[in-house]
Structure 1
């Protein structure tokens, strides 16, 4: 059974340029985690293109081989470093984790 981990954020930015810079900073930091985390099977960062008022700015979609791997990710030094680098850049955060059977 794999675990999908989806996180969505809205980011700080007084202007469209500041917001774009914040988005790129977040994207580059999370994409830098590829290959560093045991049990992480997939990582994708998406940027909203709809621009509707209720949309989040960025989504992180990742897949782990087990609930234990996802739990280890939460405390892994590389992940904690990214979280610290982002600081207060994120103004809201939403998360969903769910299990998917191999047959799905």
Structure 2
């Protein structure tokens, strides 16, 4: 199994805009369920800590193989979501790893 974790900070001028942006990102990524071959599990979490060093949103996903994870990166549905979110994201952090 391969795990793919991505964390983002989002662009917003107010708490209401931040809430709207996080919900949009969550909805867009959750819409990928059932569309990506080899995607076993996906969850999107919104930070509740509100500490200054926390990211706004995290994506946790599991894939059945490295090939499936690689395919996700270039899958048309994933590319569409990335394009739709455009410059909403101001910072991005990622970790991919094989799980025992």
CA shift for structure 1 position 66? 0.4
Give the TM-score normalised by structure 2: 0.99
- Structure 2: gaps spanning 5 or more residues: none
2:39 aligned residue: 40
Q: Note the aligned Cα RMSD (angstroms).
A: 0.4
1:25 aligned residue: 24
Deviation >3 Å, runs of 4+ = none
Count of residues in correspondence between the two structures:
100
1:7 aligns with 2:17: no
Distance 2:18 2:12 in 1: 4
Deviations along 1:58-80, one digit per CA (max 9) or x if unpaired, are 00000000000000000000000
- Structure 1: gaps spanning 5 or more residues: none
CA shift for structure 1 position 18? 0.3
1:70 aligned residue: 69
